[in-house]
Amino acid sequence: MSEQIKRPETTYSAANDAMDLVRLGIEAAKAERYRDGLDYLAEAYVLLTRRVEVWSTEAHSAEQTYATIKDVVPAVALSYYGLCLAMHSKNFTEASTFCELAIRNERFVGEHYLNLARVWWHAHNRRKMAEAINRGMKASPSYAPLQRFAEEVGFRRDPVLGFLPRESLFNKALGKLRHRIQGKSPGGGATAAPARPAAAKRKVTKSRIRKDSKG
């Protein structure tokens, strides 16, 4: 990969520094520099979770430990880490797990469903991609980037009235009305066309993150 990772000169030790890494990782992912995104977001995860290691030893259950870590690791970091993992390492199953964690933490954020849909699109799994789009449109119907992505990949939403044929005049009219209403709702920023996975292969997995966080 020709582009070098732009590592900050200072040593990261505080939460604000970790959030800077999250921001850099997301920017890298949106610029299709997925290897950089993996490195930034993995380092941010380690820095954020180090703060809860002591708390975790005092937790009475695994659920308490998970809840503590969930509170310090932003859902957006998990979501974009999953996207970078899919695009760079082609580890689609594990990538989808990170996106699902982000959705679990922020159920009504359309961006997480978009990243999940992009993971399955590049995995050539149209069924799971369609499921992610459907879920996203139900959870965040006004999120314009997800709607644009759906149009780009040729996704067709379920008919408004499932008991009638899709091509019925009533369903067509209701579908146009639904599209017009949602099109007027405020949406998010523009999203790029479905991105190509990076050519280089450097696997950064959830198990590696867990190992690094202990170091």
81 contacts 41 by C-beta, under 8 angstroms = yes
Question: Which residue, among 161, 165, 163, 93, has the nearest Cα to 123 in the 3D structure?
Answer: 93
The Cα 83–Cα 189 span in angstroms is: 18
The conformation of residue 192, written as its DSSP 8-state character, comes to: P
Residue 156: CB atoms within 10 A of its CB come to: 11
202 contacts 35 by C-beta, under 8 angstroms = yes
50 contacts 16 by C-beta, under 8 angstroms = no
Residue 200 pLDDT exceeds 50: no
Q: How distant, in Å, are the alpha carbons of 14, 104, 186 from that of 113?
A: 30, 11, 17
Class of domain 15-54+61-214: mainly alpha
Q: Evaluate if pTM is beyond 0.85.
A: no
In this predicted model, which residue has the larger pLDDT, 154 or 195? Answer: 154
Give 162-181 pLDDT, tens digit per residue: 544 545 564 456 555 555 65
pLDDT at 50: 77
Domain boundaries, the chain: 15-54+61-214
57 contacts 35 by C-beta, under 8 angstroms = no
Give 34-63 pLDDT, tens digit per residue: 999 999 999 998 888 876 655 555 555 555
